[in-house]
Structure 1
């Protein structure tokens, strides 16, 4: 997509003429995640690029119609092996990307009875307050744990708050002078 966008921005109004070449180059370029070209994953063989036709290479110069048919049939019969290795490589690539993304992730957990503040959203924000409006509202008490990172809340009067709330929209609330643990969270 980056290639497509960059090339089409360079061309300007003649993007329709250039689109074919950009798509062809995308289909014949090795992808990092798969280690294969999309063309090879579909057809089981490497594509003949237009420059090979203009300046014939050994592969193109020695190609015949019959030989091409035999090689294509052979490639399609053995295409499962590259596809399987590509699936394994993609799984490894996804694990590496997830590990890199999650290395700085800090898990936060809340327990029933903890006091929290809830993030104020645009649809519930007091519009007349302008930029000085509160970003957090509450405090609320954790009534129950719904799932991994989702909590049911109740007001300080014991009234249930509708729907469950994800932890990314909650922040622990500490009361000064009480025996609560003091801990700082940077959100």
Structure 2
């Protein structure tokens, strides 16, 4: 076990030699050298020591200021985990969210949804064309986010 500790100390010493200007400021650079050692990939395991201990990669201080692809992918994964897929087909009854507040609305007691409407056509990118119950077509497509299924 002493050989492994000596190997780690040797690697940290090499990092410190590259970072320090003179021997008097080594204690100021030690946290940065340890961070560099703990977040660099080892060839023997193919992982960083940090990821082996905490089962996740460390977020470097520079990545907080300038997001890397890894951080952006993690944010996208966290966002997509909360997304509920909504599938509609022609003929479904739906309610449309009221997106504007009328001047004569009843405040918090106003209706949140209009409808019901009938789905006429569904597009791939999440747009839907609706018909009224009287089969009058609405000209503008509506995003799936603003709809929910209606169950009479």
Instruction: Calculate the TM-score normalised by the size of structure 2.
Output: 0.53
Corresponding position of 2:139: 162
- Aligned in 2, Cα 1:172/1:126: closer, same or farther, shift over 3 Å? farther
Corresponding position of 2:53: none
2:89 pairs with 1:111: yes
Corresponding position of 2:128: 151
Give 1:167 deviation, angstroms: 1.1
Residues 48-59 of structure 1 mapped to structure 2, 5 A cutoff: none
Could you list the runs of 5+ residues in structure 2 that have no partner in the other structure? 1-59
Q: Is the 8 A contact 1:117 1:140 kept in 2?
A: yes
Give 1:30 deviation, angstroms: 4.1
Q: Distance in 2 between matches of 1:127 and 1:173?
A: 26
| Secondary structure of 1:152 counterpart | strand
- Aligned in 2, Cα 1:126/1:155: closer, same or farther, shift over 3 Å? farther
CA RMSD of aligned residues (A): 2.5
* 1:158-180 deviations in Å (ceiling 9; x for gaps): 111121111111110011xxxxx
* 1:99-131 deviations in Å (ceiling 9; x for gaps): 1221232211111110000111225x3624343
Q: Distance in 1 between matches of 2:139 and 2:92?
A: 18
Q: Distance in 1 between matches of 2:119 and 2:87?
A: 11
Aligned length, in residue pairs:
93
Could you list the runs of 5+ residues in structure 1 that have no partner in the other structure? 1-28, 39-88, 176-187
- Aligned in 2, Cα 1:121/1:91: closer, same or farther, shift over 3 Å? same
Corresponding position of 1:32: 63
Corresponding position of 1:100: 78
Residues 1-187 of structure 1 mapped to structure 2, 5 A cutoff: 30-32=61-63, 90-123=68-101, 125=102, 127-175=104-152
